[in-house]
Chains A and B, each alone.
Chain A
């Protein structure tokens, strides 16, 4: 080995400038990657937080038993006490033994609790027209010769029960008092006009079997407003039989009234609320009839038929 060669082999290797740059840029890249990862995690955390807040907001449906109402939903306890009694449950009667003839079929609705509604006179009960529809996705009304029976024939196969509610003192369900539906007085949409957006029905109720009295004599009746309620955020109250259960109260505010319909998005309604009266939360007058759900934590609204549209069609209301 020459001296030159020995000197070369023992001298410290010079730090190559490109190597140091590489090291620094590599570190920067790594830190940027870590930063991007943290940002991604933050975004994901934000999404999760957003979702959990959204999840929490889904608890807003809070109907209360009418006799145990604590007065916190937006109407007073006195209001509920004053107006709940004429509100009843529309129900199919027991169809056992009926529709047994050749070509007849009982369907699968026997005894089903079906909707809500309110007395507007001693014997007239206001509810939703679609409760008397002939076609449902999962139910079958009685049929004759392969065709569902008419709304006029459906109605007398129903009854209306009052007092189906939790007793505020005992916590037990009160014995209900039921009245037969004897006539479909008015119904919209009608089979000949299925696209009508005016959804309501008025049925006539018969007398109680035991006492022989008309339901209005026992439970009173509600006043029907003369005109639409149009004041945004006006107080509304829906007393209903949610999910076919005992009578409950919910309340909230008017979102909008337009084209014969009334919308609200802070009143919990459920399957079985169809037909419930939408009450003016101040006067107790019927401002509409509940028809559809749709209010979600992310938007949407529930809706009913505004009383103005019903009045425009109804002869029975004009005669009250």
Chain B
């Protein structure tokens, strides 16, 4: 058994007969008519380094991200999480990367997506024949359930029956890349995070320090300064990044998504997880999150 936890903007296309997949709207710049409207989003796998056995991911898209977790007051441990990013598409017409998770289950159970996620179709969304998605993830079986994660949502895909060791493959039309996990021997099953958000690990820099932009974070990759992330964002009011779903819409109309009515995440059960990246995100200051929720058909 293992779990894939989806956070950020992902469209769960599991309502139409014969169509069962996740489409991840492309948030990398330069691919859409309104790409200056929202800050850059990254579609990435986040996996605890301890879980990873081997990989041949795109070398420039693989980043070791140290996260600092407070174990007791004032006592910290650093856990390395590996971010496997999906490369930016050269243009919006490029096919999305096919991301496959091993799953022998052939029955897909949807526990509560209809109630827990906003329904894009009620906003006039029509899935484009050639959506500007950066990733497409088939959902052959398993169980989907939406949980509360902070002020937003997390969708857990639980897979009981699968090949071992767990090997995730990504096809970009040229070559298949893979990430192979170690066989889990811990008390909990392996957890993989698939995220489509801004870079949430980039350090915040106060304006007085911002002259040092471009300096590496102390981790193993240079990070984008928070100001430069936000600085490219025009005002979408409370819609925040939700308008990115327009990248999947037939007429690419962002206005449809500017005032989303999101289900109340407080009515959902809190997400269960042990992944270090999620643990880090849940330990931050508790000011509000912008609406950046997974969507449902």
Contact = CB atoms under 8 A, between A and B. Distances in A.
Interface in A84-130: 106-108, 110-115, 128, 130
Nearest to A199: B285
Interface residues of A, number: 69
From A135, A259, A292, residue with most partner B Cβ within 10 Å: A135
A105 to B, nearest CB: 8
A47 B187 contact: yes
Contact of B288 (A54, A107, A110, A244): A244
Contacts of A272: 151, 286-288
A297 to B, nearest CB: 6
A58 B269 contact: yes
Contacts of B292: 138
Given A51-B1, A261-B74, A137 B202 contact: yes
Given A48-B1, A51-B189, A138-B290, A245 B198 contact: no
B289 A291 contact: no
Interface stretch (B78-86, B113-121, B223-231): B223-231
B282 A294 contact: yes
Given A134-B207, A245-B264, A50 B236 contact: no
Given A51-B1, A61-B270, A138-B198, A293 B286 contact: yes
A55 B284 contact: no
A243 B272 contact: no
Contact of B72 (A256, A274, A297): A256
Interface stretch (A2-10, A263-271, A309-317): A263-271
A190 B270 CA distance: 33
Contacts of A172: none
A242 interface: yes
B53 interface: no
Interface centre among B188, B206, B285 (most CB of A within 10 A): B285
A140 interface: yes
Given A135-B206, A291-B286, A50 B227 contact: no
Interface string A234-264: 0000000011110000000000111101010
Given A191-B207, A194-B206, A270 B266 contact: yes
A257 B73 CA distance: 8
Nearest to A143: B231
A208 interface: no
Nearest to A297: B272
Nearest to B205: A135
A108 B237 CA distance: 5
A143 B207 CA distance: 11
Contacts of A63: 266
A49 to B, nearest CB: 10
A148 interface: yes
Contact of B200 (A51, A55, A137, A146): A137
Nearest to B292: A138
Contacts of B270: 58-61, 268
A22 interface: no
- Which of B184, B238, B264, B287 is packed against the most chain A CB atoms within 10 Å? B287
Contact of A293 (B150, B209, B227, B235): B150
Nearest to A63: B266
Interface of B: 1, 39, 69-74, 147-148, 150-151, 160, 184, 187-189, 198, 200, 202, 204-209, 226-227, 229-231, 233, 235-238, 240-241, 264-266, 269-274, 279, 282-290, 292
Given A51-B1, A243-B151, 18 more contacts: A48-B189, A54-B188, A113-B288, A130-B287, A133-B204, A135-B204, A135-B205, A137-B202, A138-B290, A147-B207, A194-B209, A244-B151, A258-B73, A259-B73, A261-B73, A268-B270, A274-B287, A293-B284
13 contacts: A47-B189, A50-B187, A58-B271, A115-B286, A133-B204, A134-B207, A138-B39, A147-B207, A243-B265, A268-B270, A270-B150, A292-B284, A298-B188
6 closest A-B pairs by beta carbon, nearest first, are A271-B151, A294-B283, A58-B272, A274-B286, A258-B73, A138-B290
